[in-house]
Structure 1
Amino acid sequence: MNDVTEELHFGERHLGVRALTPTAPAPAADGGDASGAAASPVATATDTSPGQQWWRRAAAVPLASGALTLVVVLIAAGRRQLWRDEFATLDAAQMGLRELYALVQQKDLVLLPYYVGMHFWVQLFGDSEVALRLPSAIAVAIAAALTAMQGQMLYGPRVGLLAGVLFGLLPVVTRYGQEARPYGLVIAAVAAAGLFVVRATQRHSRAAWIYYALALVLVGWLHLIALVVLPAHGLLVLLDARRRQNWRPVAWWMGATAAAVAVLSPLVVLAKAQSGQIAWIQPVPLGDLSEWMLGLPGAIGVGGILLGLAILGCVGGGPRVGYLAAWALGPLILLWALTPVMLLFTERYVLFVLPAWCLLAAAGVQVAAQRLSTFTVAVPVLVLLVGLSSHVALRAPVTQFEPDLRGATAVIDKERRTGDLVAYTGPFPWWSNAGIKYYLQEQPPLAEVFQATEGQATPNFRQWCGGTVECLDTRARIWLINTKSSSTRLTSFAGMNPEVEKALRARFVVTHVDRFTDVSVSLLTPRPRG
């Protein structure tokens, strides 16, 4: 069986056809082999009616996929309030470059390029929820377009368009497209690297290998762990070189990879000292691995559909299937196997495999559509319907397991008086501080009871005064923000340091308490003298 691929010509207005499998004949002089296209189960469709031609244009497939993804991600993009990781991004983005440099000396060194980019982004576009998340939304839209382009190069425009649409409809793409963190950008960077390595194997141009090396550097700057996709690229190059009996591309790939690693090596060495930051990651037991994988797209039902179609898409084999399968599963297997050595296996770190899932699934749809053409349209609709409840949940006003700081701030905003103070208890007091300040942007910030100055001892960590008694001003009211989990009834002083609680109870009376999701707001007024 001949296996023919249709390659997108960059800068041209037509599609050429190139063989990627060992059994395919050499391309004809006119750009394709008709018999090969007819025999392949994933061959490009030959519809000629005018109403069906728009998606066959070179630019239409990536533009349509990217536009759809952007529209889906921007729906209610500002409804969900910021959560702790996004407040970390906001805090870093609002720092001066010197402060930011001081921050990465202690933590988040691997996020320095992202933080620097967000620093200038916030200066230009502000710090609203939508503005902070817009780079991620644009990034996943670009990732969808790049996925569609890669599908177009490997299988043809129909598979490319379907892969891009499936990617844009995944609930997890909305989740991280609506988040002020770098994971959406990582997906786009990995998709770009994959596109360039495919192009390099098809064209063998020096420019493609240079672009590939630059894309790898971008991947490493955004997320070093995503470089585990390299074995998949190497497999594609080796299989293609073996088929062509031309090993020069292998040398080019090794050179491009070595150049990228050399550029990234200082970051790798320096980041190793901050490896303790990933101590929060929990291992995934072998018995839970299948459920974990099915849930990766954001809904277990959607994961089941994708994986089932992806298996069907492996029909025919060949270099492209080996490459996509290695991209889809290789990083997961490798990071899970490294669990005894280092905990790196967590959802947000491996999202870059999803374009490969969608490409294989789209190829599977094309195989099935040979007998049932309506299946091509039915699959995206099914994915949307199965994942709809997840889409709705992801747009809830409060992120799961996070406190409703927006609701807490509304109470303070309504009843605050000049001279009121604020105090925090619970985990990550700096993050509660950042949230309350953020949602009180239109008001002067409340002075903090236990903060000696407005300065910082180190970035993200406040300078605290020496003792609780000395800190207390018994003439002012205090808004006490408690973000301890509300698995039990949340009281004003739950989880507080006993010394601090004793000092507050001796000098203040709790006037009233308002409770929201995982947060309480208590108004403390001074006890009458005598």
Structure 2
Amino acid sequence: MTLNRVTPVGDTQDPQATPGSWFGNWRVILWAKKQWLLPIMALAAIVRFYDLTAAAIWGDEGSSLLLARYSLGGIWNHAAFDVHPPLYFMLLHGWIELFGDGIFAIRCLSALLGIAVVGAGVWLVDRLATRRAAIIAGVLLALLPTAVRYSQEVRMYSLLGLLLIAASLALVYWIRHAQRRRYRVFYVLLMSAALYTHYFAVLAALSHWIYLGVIRTQRGYRFRHIQQLPWWLANLAIAGLYLPWLPKLLNLMQHMEQLKAAGDVGWEDPVSLTSLPAMIWSWLIQDDGANLPLLVFIAMPMALLVLAGVALARDRSVSRGSVLLALYTGLPLLLVFAVSFITPVFIERYLTAFALGLPMLAALAIDRLYSRVRSLALAVLVSLVGVELIGVNNNATVDSNDQLDHMVSYVNQHFQPGDGIVISDMLWYLSYVYYDQTGAQVRLYTPPRADGHSTRPNEYGFGTLVTPGVYLDSLAELTGYRRVWLVGTLDEPGEFLPLPATWQVGAEVRAGGAQARLFVVKPAVE
């Protein structure tokens, strides 16, 4: 008796095609498993492009745009008087040539670099540990609030993070394949580019040296790369590539007092013992945690320290990748903290590139906990993601209707030929000129101090971006104007006092912590 297959109503599929369809479905599953990185990159893109243009350009971003307007030679020369090297501004110059200087276009460069950072971090952890650890690191990197924030600014911090993580990756590849010269070449180029992006890149190089020293002295299998000629030659090559910039760096260091006088370094408040945990909180929730209960304030940094200890203690790999990540994150954090007791430079954005090591180190710990105490590992992961989501939400809470650009737009709309515009502060000036469409020369108010000393910036720091004709020492110098716009800080109404007696307020607009007041100049009564 032959049993025939019963075909359900509506099932017109050829029985002979069933094996092929199963094979096709299996191929889809295999393809999906290979695309595990795509959801992580999509998450990184979503949080970085969300509200990318909501916040107005602020002073530091404005300085980037002013510097990028110069030719490449001009950028090289002016960056020599700035507090940052020239590479990012050169890249921004080329980016603007291609895509224009609209706010989405200029911030898009940092956002794309920030997304690439996540990919590089995942790649690095995938080389150091398991695929599971790489996926965890990807999620935590994608949501890391400090990385998200500075992926949305027209500054060099995303570029620096990408170069340093990529250089660390090249170092790992070279350790494992010392005979392959290309990895040393990649390391040299990436570290050189990082040093041309931010001076703090030297701290990453220092962490690499110490890491090689640690794995040279560990018990069991010892890596001798630190004493091999190729490593020394690679670092000599980095020094050689940096030589053209070295005289400019030395000149800048000789004039640090002028930079301090201009307010471009040392403007941060002195650090205290609470500054260290506050920095960790800033990385995670974009708030220094000062309003948190003391136990909570201390608990999170201590928990992360314990996670770092777990990652280090449970590391059974030959190359000790957890040591690399611990040094990459911890060494710059502690060194800059210590130096800041002398010269305050403990600034979140300067350390964001090193904060990237924190989620990668946590991922290693969670991965190693998972194999022993799965519930604890999942609880730690969920807690970290929850904390990061708080920070991502804090990043996104921007009132786009209360931004500087709305105030400047009002001035642009109500400006009349012959009006004067005066800004009270350098940072306001740097952002204001980006939005200005009047064609007038915007002046920067620099009244002398009570002792007669000038308040004009010197040629270092932001001062290198402003020509002397922009400065205005006295409102009495504004002759021939029928109307004058005074733009200043909202909570400092007296910064332009005393006003000429013939000036009368005609209009006022406030937004983004600034105010613009229109004064009508009345003829003097004789």
Structure-1 residue corresponding to 2:440: 446
Query: Is contact 1:55-1:158 (8 Å) kept?
Result: no
Q: Distance in 2 between matches of 1:323 and 1:475?
A: 63
Cα separation, partners in 2 of 1:261 and 1:55, compared to 1, 3 Å: farther
Q: For residue 316 of structure 1, what is the aligned residue in structure 2?
A: 314
The CA distance in 1 between the partners of 2:211 and 2:39, in whole Å, is: 27
> Which position in structure 1 is the counterpart of 2:336?
335
Give the corresponding residue for 1:274. 252
RMSD: 3.3
**Residue 212 of structure 2 corresponds to residue 212 of structure 1:** no
Determine helix, strand or coil for the equivalent of 2:242. Answer: helix
1:407 to partner: Cα distance:
2.6
* CA drift at 1:160: 0.9
Q: Confirm whether residue 223 of structure 1 aligns to residue 198 of structure 2.
A: yes
Rounded to whole Å, the distance in 1 between the matches of 2:356 and 2:474 is 53
The farther-off stretch of 170-179 and 235-244 is: 235-244
Structure 2: distance between partners of 1:255 and 1:334: 27
Q: How does 1:133-212 map to 2 (within 5 A)?
A: 133-204=107-178, 205-212=180-187
Q: What is the one-letter code of the residue matched to 2:356? A: P
How far off its partner does 1:289 sit? 2.1
Alpha-carbon distance in 1 for matches of 2:465, 2:241: 28
TM-score (norm 2): 0.77
User: Is residue 247 from structure 1 mapped to residue 221 from structure 2 by the alignment?
Assistant: no
Secondary structure in structure 2 of the residue aligned to 1:422: strand
Matched, 1:478 2:484: yes
Residue 291 in 1 paired to residue 278 in 2?
A: yes
Of 408-417 and 119-128, more deviation after overlay is shown by 408-417
Q: Structure 1's 289 and 466: CA in aligned 2 closer, same or farther, altered over 3 A?
A: closer
CA deviations on 1:40-71 (whole Å, 9 max, x unpaired) are xxxxxxxxx989866864xx455543342122
- Report what 2:103 is aligned to: 129
Q: Residues of 2 paired with 1:351 and 1:387: CA distance?
A: 15
What's 2:78 paired with?
103
Distance 1:355 1:520, change over 3 A: closer
CA contact (8 A) 1:102 1:459 kept: no
- Aligned partners of 1:245, 1:468: CA distance in 2, in Å? 69
Aligned AA (2:82): K
2:507 to 507, 512, 515: 512
Residues 1:371 and 1:406: Cα distance change in structure 2 (over 3 Å):
same
Which amino acid in the other structure matches residue 420 of structure 2? L
RCO higher in structure (CA 8 A, sep ≥6): 2
Which residue number corresponds to residue 416 of structure 2?
417
Q: 2: CA distance between counterparts of 1:469 and 1:161?
A: 60
Change (3 A) 1:133 1:124: same
CA 268–524 in structure 1, closer or farther in 2 if over 3 Å, else same: same
2:245 partner letter = L
Q: Offset of 1:475 from its aligned partner?
A: 5.0
Residue in 2 aligned with 1:233? 208
* CA–CA distance in structure 1, aligned partners of residues 444 and 201 of structure 2: 41
Change (3 A) 1:320 1:52: farther
In structure 1, what is the equivalent of residue 20 of structure 2? none
- Residue identity opposite 1:112 in structure 2: P
Q: Which residue of 2 aligns with 1:355?
A: 356
Does the CA-based 8 Å contact 2:277-2:301 persist in structure 1? no
Residue 247 of structure 1: CA displacement? 2.6
3-state SS of paired residue (1:482): strand
Distance 1:100 1:352, change over 3 A: closer
Q: Is the 8 A contact 1:169 1:383 kept in 2?
A: no
Q: By how many angstroms is 1:246 displaced?
A: 5.6
Report the 3-state secondary structure (helix = DSSP H, G, I; strand = E; otherwise coil) of the residue aligned with 2:439.
coil
Instruction: Tell me: CA distance 1:370–1:259, structure 2 relative to 1, closer, same or farther (3 Å).
Output: same
Alpha-carbon shift at residue 172 of structure 1 (Å):
0.8
Distance 1:320 1:506, change over 3 A: same
User: For residues 98 and 266 of structure 1, do their structure 2 counterparts lie closer, same or farther at Cα, with a shift above 3 Å needed?
Assistant: closer
- Counterpart amino acid of residue 307 in structure 2: L
Aligned pairs for 1:357-376 (under 5 A) are 357-371=358-372, 373=374
Letter in 1 for 2:204: V
3-state SS of 2:469 partner: strand
Q: State the distance in 2 between where 1:61 and 1:240 align.
A: 32
Deviation at 1:328, TM superposition (A): 2.1
Asked if the contact 1:479–1:522 (Cα under 8 Å) also holds between the matched residues in 2, the reply is yes
Which amino acid is 2:503 matched to? F
**CA distance in structure 2 between the partners assigned to 1:166 and 1:379 by the alignment:** 12
Question: Closer, same or farther in 2 for the Cα pair 1:363/1:261, shift >3 Å?
Answer: same
Residue from 237, 261, 280 that aligns with 1:259: 237
Shift of 1:102: 4.3
Report the alpha carbon displacement of residue 256 of structure 1 after superposing the two structures with TM: 1.6
CA distance, structure 2, for counterparts of residue 229 and residue 220 of structure 1: 10
3-state SS, counterpart of residue 255 of structure 1: helix
Structure 1 residues 121 and 449: CA distance shift in structure 2, 3 A: closer
Deviation, 1:506, is 2.4
- Taking a change above 3 Å as real, the CA distance of residues 55 and 290 of structure 1, as seen in their structure-2 partners, is farther
- Amino acid of the residue matched to residue 393 of structure 2? V
The amino acid of 1:262's aligned partner reads G
Task: Note closer, same or farther for the CA distance 1:215–1:434 as it changes in structure 2 (3 Å cut).
Answer: closer
Give the aligned residue type for 1:445. Answer: G
For residues 230 and 118 of structure 1, what CA distance do their matches in structure 2 show? 25
Aligned equivalent of 1:19: none
Q: Kindly tell me: are residues 512 and 355 of structure 1, through their superposed partners in 2, closer, same or farther at Cα, counting changes over 3 Å? A: closer
CA distance change for structure 1 residues 392 and 317 in 2, over 3 Å: closer, same or farther? Answer: closer
Q: Do the aligned partners of 2:283 and 2:348 also contact (CA within 8 Å) in 1? A: yes
- 1:246-269 C-alpha deviation (Å, 9 max, x unpaired): 635641323322321232244244
Q: Distance in 2 between matches of 1:363 and 1:80?
A: 35
- What are the Cα deviations for residues 209-244 of structure 1, in whole angstroms up to 9, with x where unaligned? 221121111111111212212343234434545544
1:201 touches 1:237 (CA, 8 Å); kept in 2? no
1:316 and 1:450 map into 2 onto residues whose CA distance is: 58
1:461 corresponds to 2:461: no
Cα deviation for residue 367 of structure 1 reads 2.5
Deviation at 1:208, TM superposition (A): 1.2
Residues 339 and 473 (structure 1 numbering): CA distance in 2 closer, same or farther, change over 3 Å?
Answer: closer
Preserved contact between residue 479 and residue 521 of structure 1 (Cα < 8 Å) = yes
**1:341 Cα offset (Å):** 5.4
User: In the superposition, relative to structure 1, how do residues 466 and 449 fare at CA in structure 2: closer, same or farther (>3 Å)?
Assistant: closer
Q: Which amino acid aligns with 1:274?
A: L
- How much has 1:189 moved relative to structure 2? 0.8
Deviation at 1:361, TM superposition (A): 0.7
Tell me if structure 1 keeps the 8 A contact 2:44–2:142: yes
Question: For the Cα contact (< 8 Å) 1:336–1:345, is it kept in 2?
Answer: yes
Cα distance in 2, alignment partners of residues 250 and 64 from structure 1: 42
Count of matched residue positions in the alignment of Structure 1 and Structure 2: 456
Give the match's secondary structure for 1:296. Answer: helix
Matched residues in 1 for 2:344 and 2:246: separation? Answer: 17
